[in-house]
Amino acid sequence: MAASERLLVLEGQVSALRESVRVARDLSAGEEEVQIALWDAFAVRMQLLAVERGFTTSYFRRCPKDYYEMSLEQRRALLGAESVAQLCKSVVFENSRWPEYSSKFGVSDPFSWTYPRYVVMVVQYIRKLDTDGAARMLAARSSELSNEKVPRAAFNLRLAEDVETLTSYGPNAVTLLGTMVQRMPTIVSKHISRLDSIWLGGGQVDLKWHVGVSDLIQTVRPFLGDVAI
């Protein structure tokens, strides 16, 4: 990379850092988030990814190592969320029927909306994921996109086994900012669309990502589905 190109990259990174600090301050995130935006190397990298992708309401917060041993109410208080309803997770699912049906539908891309092998679903911790409802929704969506009937039987959703290989992030750390995750069809529970903002995984188990819901929907362009009860 030429010196002039490196300079442009650095200027872009500095601009993104300034933007992350501005966002944290504008959203009254607190001094801790401002310091994270400046000095936490991994969080800075994730913030750069967020800014590059077009998010305008992102900031991050470090949590204690025993975060997942806490109750939802304790997590809510720690993050400063208004409600436990704002605590969400990104879960990667595999359609185990894909190897059997993909050739029938002429699909070779495992991340195709037409008939996906992998999908990521964003759901609240306070709700239970409805995999049957999600499968029916995906079958209807696939039928609409392919202009042919895709049966419910073509979908059997189960938790993806090797999440870290698929996403580069381990369990409880999966984030929509990942390169591979961005390729996957994304489904956001319709209940989340009623919230102003949510907290999601930030790429490391003890790093949490705050983002506005309208910002998330506008940037990710997910399918809003009835996938949780």
Residue 96 lies in a domain: yes
Domain shared by 94 and 43, yes or no: no
Domain shared by 39 and 122, yes or no: no
Please, what is the average pLDDT of the chain? 87
Domain shared by 92 and 55, yes or no: no
* Least-confidence region, from 12-16, 36-40, 114-118: 12-16
Judged against a pLDDT cut of 60, whether residue 23 lies above it is answered with no
Please give the tally of structural domains in the chain. 2
Between 176 and 19, the higher pLDDT residue: 176
Judged against a pLDDT cut of 90, whether residue 38 lies above it is answered with no
Q: Look up the domain containing 174 and give its range.
A: 69-76+81-225
CATH number at residue 147: 3.90.960.10
Domain shared by 38 and 90, yes or no: no
Domain shared by 106 and 170, yes or no: yes
Judged against a pLDDT cut of 90, whether residue 175 lies above it is answered with yes
Domain shared by 126 and 191, yes or no: yes
Between 143 and 33, the higher pLDDT residue: 143
The pTM of the full predicted model, rounded to 2 decimals, is: 0.84
Between 20 and 59, the higher pLDDT residue: 59
Question: Across residues 3-28, what is the average pLDDT?
Answer: 55
Judged against a pLDDT cut of 80, whether residue 160 lies above it is answered with yes
Question: Across residues 19-33, what is the average pLDDT?
Answer: 56
Residue 64 lies in a domain: no
Residue 214 lies in a domain: yes
Report the alpha-carbon distance of residue 136 to residue 52 in Å, rounded.
34
Residue 148 lies in a domain: yes
| The predicted structure's pLDDT at residue 7 | 45
